[in-house]
Amino acid sequence: MERTILVAIDGSVYSSNSLDYLAHLFGADRGLSIHLLSVVAGGGADKEWMYDVDPLRTQAPGSEKRAALARRQLKEAEERLMRNGFAKERIESRVKTASSVSTAIRDEAERGNYDAVLIGRRGLGAVGNMFFGSTSSDLIEKCHRAPLWIVDGNVNASRFLLAVQSHPASLTAADHLAFMLKGHPSAEICLYHSNSVFGSQKPSPAEDFHAQWGKSWCDQHLDLDNFLFYAHAQLLADSGIPRHRITQLPAQMHLDVGADLLKQAKQHHCGTIVIGRRRRDLAKGQLKGVSDKTLKQAQNIAVWLAG
């Protein structure tokens, strides 16, 4: 099944790390296509807005130099992917001129038919101090139509930690994970629920799941009082992931759920944490807080936000 990932490139070690992560997981996957995007400023700070309004406007000499550098960086990124197993015909690249990097990436993500958006970031710290300055924080806040994959540092472990909750966003994250791993020969998934000692959210009513998964499937598989452990595993199995590669970890309570997810991922050799997030108009409360706290503390790990 064909899947396409949009990858933001800036020529830094952070975007190189994201390419290595991608190659490590999917280099042998012939059903995955990569679209590399580099965004460059179009001119002086007081004129950059013109290039958003009129992209055909003649670029200033400084802009053309930046565009030339971006093209070289994209070529290097293509070669890096090909050295790690990706076929040339599975890679496309593009330079885009705009005044705002995050807006350009978000627009491309929302207008294109992408299954995920991959970005790298600059290590441990507040979300606002990531890749391209505040770019990833802007994308996390505003880009909700495509799942976001945020790669921090060097990620070598192939196992996935799927954070399970009794909410549709969590099951949507499992759906995304299953889709992206369809046909993967070895990926292993750990299902884990971490509950806050300060109180957990009530399970969503079963009716909230019907529109996406159907009443019949929900009646058979939803285990709302068990954090949907069984439903998540069933959804993954329905997508072809063997049961023996799906492990349920004991649920625990913790003062800091984000820190606990990172601890469990490290303990169980998981290089990626997958978290469901609610729609923008519902992105309040524990689920949003968990993803924020996990991202702020993440080091040498990838976090997928889907939902």
| CATH number of the domain bearing residue 37 | 3.40.50.620
Task: Tell me what pLDDT residue 199 has.
Answer: 57
Task: Tell me what pLDDT residue 198 has.
Answer: 54
232 with 301, same domain: the answer is yes
Q: What phi and psi values does residue 148 have, to the nearest 5 degrees?
A: -105, 135
11 with 143, same domain: the answer is yes
Task: Tell me what pLDDT residue 191 has.
Answer: 98
Between CA 144 and CA 142 the distance in angstroms is 6
291 with 255, same domain: the answer is yes
Task: Tell me what pLDDT residue 279 has.
Answer: 58
120 with 217, same domain: the answer is no
270 with 165, same domain: the answer is yes
Task: Tell me what pLDDT residue 126 has.
Answer: 40
Task: Tell me what pLDDT residue 116 has.
Answer: 95
The answer to whether 209 touches 171, Cβ cutoff 8 Å, is: yes
pTM of the full structure: 0.88
Quick one: residue 139, left, alpha or beta (phi over 0 = left, psi -120 to 50 = alpha)? alpha
* pLDDT tens over the chain, length 307 residues: 689 999 999 888 989 999 999 999 998 888 899 999 999 876 544 444 344 445 545 555 567 888 899 999 999 999 999 999 999 999 999 999 888 888 899 899 888 889 999 998 865 444 334 343 467 777 888 778 889 999 999 998 889 999 999 999 999 999 999 999 988 889 999 999 998 765 567 899 999 999 999 999 999 999 999 999 999 999 999 999 999 999 999 999 888 899 999 999 999 999 999 999 875 554 454 445 788 888 888 889 999 999 7
Between CA 206 and CA 18 the distance in angstroms is 37
Range(s) of the domain holding residue 111: 3-152
**Residue 117 C-alpha from the chain's centroid:** 6
Domain endpoint, select from 125, 152, 179 = 152
8 with 148, same domain: the answer is yes
Between CA 157 and CA 151 the distance in angstroms is 12
224 with 279, same domain: the answer is yes
192 with 64, same domain: the answer is no
Residue from 51, 64, 144, 146 nearest 104 by CA: 51
Sheet holding 91-97, edge to edge: 91-97, 32-40, 3-8, 116-121, 148-152, 301-306, 270-276, 159-163, 189-192, 246-248
Helix, strand, coil share of the chain (percent; to 5) = 45, 20, 35
207 with 222, same domain: the answer is yes
138 with 235, same domain: the answer is no
The answer to whether 38 touches 73, Cβ cutoff 8 Å, is: yes
| CA-based max dimension of the chain | 63
SS3 assignment, position 297:
helix
Q: Based on the structure, what is the number of domains in the chain?
A: 2
